[in-house]
A = this chain, B = another copy of it.
Amino acid sequence: MTVQKLRVGIAGLGRMGKRHALNLHTLTHRADVVAVSSPDQNECKWAMDQLEGVRVYRDYDEMLAKEDLQAILIASATAVHATQTLSAIEKGYHVLCEKPLSIDVAEAQAVVGAYKRSLRTHPNQKVMCAFSRRFDASYREAYEKVASGDYGRPVVFRSQTADLLDTSGVFVNYAKTSGGIFVDCSIHDIDLMLWFLGEKSKIKSLQAIGVTAVHPGLEAINDRDNAIATIEFYDGRIANLFCTRMMAAGQEDTTEIICKAGSVRVNMQGRKNHVEVHDSLGARRELPQYASDRFRDAFITEVREFTECCLENSPLPISLESSVRALVIGRALQHSLMSGEKVLLDEIDSKL
């Protein structure tokens, strides 16, 4: 008897693409990475060296045209996420697309529309945005603890995405197409907020403030490197988000869900592993440097579960609508950040 495997194509082989490719290729028993595509010559060379038996394309459309695939993992530049997802949807393929689906709300919504229409003819088709934290063991345990009701109703949600300080200067260039700090960083916290507080909670107000402390170039592109947001819901809950690009010790993504009779917290004491050193400076532990270190296992779980979901036709763990809603909230916060306006929403019309 042989294992049924999902025939996967991968678009984009940057940092995240490489990681997904290796996770699918070597750690996902039921996936078969058939082909990859990247417009970048070095990335193609990397694939030829590292991904034994996988065909390599410079052009995404050519890969789609020539290969007989079942699923596409999209990890290309954000600018082409939506277009590539649409092409794959049209072919009836399952799609796992890196976040965000787009930095443009209308474009993201167009993808949702296309997916909905496609479902009529391909009822088992799976399209999902890759929000890795939902696959992290700690976040999952936190979710179960909150959902158990043991600690009462969750009332206050506090979450931060804190990236390692990068003093190389290359960051500003990347930021240009990122959609801004709330779309690039906090969208993970927004996704978690929707998960923990309930996808249906309606937002009453939101606002954000921020500064440019270590990347002055961000001023010119309407972005900030440190920002704080507050969000108010109609059902009596509040949220507080913090994002920063200047965390000196490493990646520190933390979340607190404060319920009426207890609170559940994730990663309030960041640590890379179980090592601690005591020397003349005191007692010291190191932190994960990047999200890819902190969420290494979550990335593996993500592609494995997506593979299972396609093969078994089981429900998607995250709805595409929720991911688009996270984008809308992220864009609204970015608007507030740059305009200084507090955004007030009518309960009935609240789209956020």
Write out, one digit per residue, whether chain A residues 246-280 have a CB within 8 A of any chain B CB (1) or not (0).
Answer: 11111010000010111111111111011111111
Q: Does A116 contact B (CB under 8 A)?
A: no
Count how many chain A residues have C-beta atoms less than 8 Å from C-beta atoms of the other chain.
81
Q: Does A25 contact B (CB under 8 A)?
A: yes
Q: Does A236 contact B (CB under 8 A)?
A: yes
Q: Does A211 contact B (CB under 8 A)?
A: yes
In the complex, the answer to whether A226 meets B155 with C-beta atoms within 8 Å is yes
What would 13 A/B residue contacts be, using CB atoms closer than 8 Å? Answer: A138-B274, A142-B275, A155-B226, A207-B207, A207-B342, A209-B231, A226-B238, A240-B242, A246-B258, A249-B282, A261-B280, A264-B276, A265-B276
In the complex, the answer to whether B211 meets A238 with C-beta atoms within 8 Å is yes
Q: Does A67 contact B (CB under 8 A)?
A: no
In the complex, the answer to whether A158 meets B242 with C-beta atoms within 8 Å is yes
Q: Does A232 contact B (CB under 8 A)?
A: yes
In the complex, the answer to whether A247 meets B278 with C-beta atoms within 8 Å is yes
Q: Does A180 contact B (CB under 8 A)?
A: no
Q: How many copies does the complex hold?
A: 4
CA distance A150 to B268 in the complex (A): 24
Minimum distance in angstroms from A198 CB to a CB of chain B:
15
Residues from chain B with Cβ under 8 Å of A344 in the complex: 340
Residues from chain B with Cβ under 8 Å of A227 in the complex: 238
CA distance A230 to B276 in the complex (A): 24
**Contact of A279 (CB < 8 Å), options: B26, B212, B261:** B261
Residues from chain B with Cβ under 8 Å of A137 in the complex: 273
| Chain B: CB-nearest residue to A296 | B297
Minimum distance in angstroms from A256 CB to a CB of chain B:
9
Minimum distance in angstroms from A301 CB to a CB of chain B:
12
Q: Does A2 contact B (CB under 8 A)?
A: yes
Q: Does A214 contact B (CB under 8 A)?
A: yes
A sample of 19 more A-B contacts (CB under 8 A), given A212-B236, A341-B342, is A137-B273, A145-B277, A155-B246, A207-B207, A208-B230, A211-B238, A226-B258, A246-B258, A248-B261, A248-B280, A249-B278, A249-B283, A250-B282, A262-B278, A262-B280, A263-B278, A269-B276, A282-B286, A282-B287
Residues from chain B with Cβ under 8 Å of A280 in the complex: 248-249, 261-262
Write out, one digit per residue, whether chain A residues 208-249 have a CB within 8 A of any chain B CB (1) or not (0).
Answer: 111111100000000000111111100011101010101111
Q: Does A105 contact B (CB under 8 A)?
A: no
| Chain B: CB-nearest residue to A236 | B211
Q: Does A1 contact B (CB under 8 A)?
A: yes
Residues from chain B with Cβ under 8 Å of A52 in the complex: 1-3
Minimum distance in angstroms from A137 CB to a CB of chain B:
5
In the complex, the answer to whether A275 meets B265 with C-beta atoms within 8 Å is yes
Q: Does A316 contact B (CB under 8 A)?
A: no
Q: Does A15 contact B (CB under 8 A)?
A: no
In the complex, the answer to whether A228 meets B236 with C-beta atoms within 8 Å is no
| Chain B: CB-nearest residue to A258 | B244
Residues from chain B with Cβ under 8 Å of A25 in the complex: 29
Q: Does A27 contact B (CB under 8 A)?
A: yes
| Chain B: CB-nearest residue to A255 | B274
CA distance A132 to B218 in the complex (A): 39
